Amino acid sequence: MNALRFFKRREFFRIALQDLSGTVDFWTCVGELSHLADAMVKNALDIAMAQLQESYGTPTSAYTVLAMGKLGGGELNYSSDIDLVVLYEKQGETRGGPSSISYGEFFSKLTEKLIQLIAVATEQGSVFRVDLDLRPWGNKSDLAHSLESFYIYWDRYVEHWERQAFLKARPIGGSLDFGARVLREIEAKIYLDPLPEGFVAKIQEMKLLVENHSAEQAGGRTNVKTGPGGIRDIEFSVQLLQMVYGAAHPAIRLPGTQAALNALASENIISEAEKQQLIEAYVFLRRVEHMLQIMTNQQLYHLPAQKRARDQLGIRLEIADGEFDIQYKQLTQNTRALFQDLFYKRIDRPVLSKKSFNQALSQDRMPLRELKTWLAPYGFNNLAASFRNLKDIRGSEERSQQAFASVSIGLLEACRDAADLELQQFARLRRIIDVPVGARALGSSAEDAKARLKIEWGSQIRSYVLFPYQQVNDHRTELKTSDVTGVLDGDLDD
């Protein structure tokens, strides 16, 4: 037991030293803390399994240990509990030992020994605190559950908050293949299609309850985790978007916050700017949390009440003396505003798929209500004209339309800030140079479209419009740079 504690302290000190000296970034730090916890659980399981086999023999059932919460997401902090769920595949009795017990007893004993090895405090302290409350039926049930029991619970009793918790589940012990199979088999119960009536409202209500409870406990102090614009605002935003859109967008089914945000942006559920804002806010807030916990060696989330102590905290975070309160207030206010949009308003916005959007553009005309559904969320006001411009850019040839399909949502996203004007300008350019391959000019991906349509119109247009123009239309006169600039500045007529 003490060997595990010594190893954990040594590695913990190494990671903290790297963190404080700035030699690793935030994501490396939390990744290494998570890898350390994974290793401690695996080693403790090996010790526990060997001890039990001496007394009871060996079970032939596969088992798995699922990490939940921050450990599941690979984002452990310095004072996190580790949330675990232990499952075994089938019923039976052990064989080959002095005595025989059921698999249920065996794996419950295995879990109990795991807790003793890493959570019970000795003169050397503990390795990690362990929380098993996310298992079926909570802390009133067996420490380990059979797969049959687990599925019965998920079929009949699972709550929406438990679906949310399992977004971050990750197998870390026992059979990783068995754990991955279990998680695949419950995906349809996590990412519901269609969403039951009141689903979103339940998650929103739960968030409000957490906020209210936290405010009562805070006594006027600022809570980095649960306060307005804090860590929980970001995590709940990400997780609600995953549950609402995960059925139609499998790419967003990821346990880590950063990976999930990257996927949400790639799937056009949030914008690149929103992704970047949330990642930067998450890193800032988690680093504040880390410093609070390193300074006190406690599971602490409240900012110090004294301004001088907060300024010292800011200095440790490489913030100019006296500037911490200003930066913290501005960041959390901006985060809160985006949370309010994503968590309450944006959640009802339809997310456009490339396939459905291009099917809509194949129509000659579209009812106003449909136009609003497709275009209004991206900032288009002149809906009918924008519809015509999109059809012009899409072109009439099959190759052109296929190319457009690959970048169409990226085009809308890129035009978001000045949608009608930017789309009109690009459509005019498309008609003037009459590129037969149409949207191939946009590039090969939504990222190309975003990068190329956002800021540097003149030089960017030359690189992705003139090149295919010259290749496909080498019998025509090459369009001059001044002509392109004129179109973008609105100097040329259609």
Q: Is the dihedral of CA 5, 9, 10, 11 positive or negative?
A: positive
Q: Which of 1-5, 54-58, 348-352 has the lowest mean pLDDT?
A: 348-352
State the average pLDDT for the chain.
83
The predicted structure's pLDDT at residue 440? 43
Most confident of 302-306, 347-351, 432-436: 302-306
pLDDT category of residue 443 using cuts at 50, 70 and 90:
very low
Q: Phi and psi dihedrals of 211, rounded to 5?
A: -60, -50
pLDDT single digits (tens) 103-133: 999 999 999 999 999 999 888 888 999 999 9
pLDDT category of residue 346 using cuts at 50, 70 and 90:
confident
100/382: higher pLDDT: 100
How many C-beta neighbours within 10 Å does residue 483 have? Answer: 15
pLDDT single digits (tens) 12-47: 999 999 999 999 999 999 999 999 999 999 999 999
The predicted structure's pLDDT at residue 168? 98
Q: Which of 84, 105, 73 is nearest to 40 (CA)?
A: 84
49/218: higher pLDDT: 49
Q: Which of 179, 185, 199 is nearest to 244 (CA)?
A: 199
Question: Cα-atom radius of gyration of the chain, to the nearest Å?
Answer: 27
Give the 3-state secondary structure of residue 156.
helix
Take residue 492 and report the two structure tokens written for it: 């040329």
CA distance 482 to 480: 5
CA distance 189 to 363: 36
When pLDDT is averaged across residues 49-77 and rounded to a whole number, the result is 97
pLDDT single digits (tens) 450-491: 444 443 333 333 333 333 333 333 333 333 334 333 333 333
pLDDT single digits (tens) 363-391: 777 666 666 666 776 677 777 777 777 77
Res 282 pLDDT > 70: yes
CA distance 470 to 458: 17
pLDDT category of residue 362 using cuts at 50, 70 and 90:
confident
Q: Which of 192-196, 352-356, 364-368 has the lowest mean pLDDT?
A: 352-356
Give the 3-state secondary structure of residue 131.
strand
Res 211 pLDDT > 90: no
Most confident of 81-85, 217-221, 407-411, 434-438: 81-85
pLDDT single digits (tens) 224-241: 999 999 999 999 999 999
Q: Which of 155-169, 178-192, 424-438, 460-474 has the lowest mean pLDDT?
A: 460-474
Q: State what percent of residues in the chain have pLDDT above 90.
A: 60
The predicted structure's pLDDT at residue 369? 62
The predicted structure's pLDDT at residue 475? 35
Q: Which of 3-7, 353-357, 459-463 has the lowest mean pLDDT?
A: 459-463
Q: Phi and psi dihedrals of 490, rounded to 5?
A: 80, 20
Burial 439-469 (b: 16+ CB within 10 A, else e): bbbbbeebebbbbbbbeebeebbeebbbebb
When pLDDT is averaged across residues 134-139 and rounded to a whole number, the result is 95
CA dihedral 458, 463, 469, 475 (to 10 degrees): 100
Burial 314-344 (b: 16+ CB within 10 A, else e): bebeebeeeebeeebeebbeebbebbeebbe
The predicted structure's pLDDT at residue 432? 46
The predicted structure's pLDDT at residue 422? 55
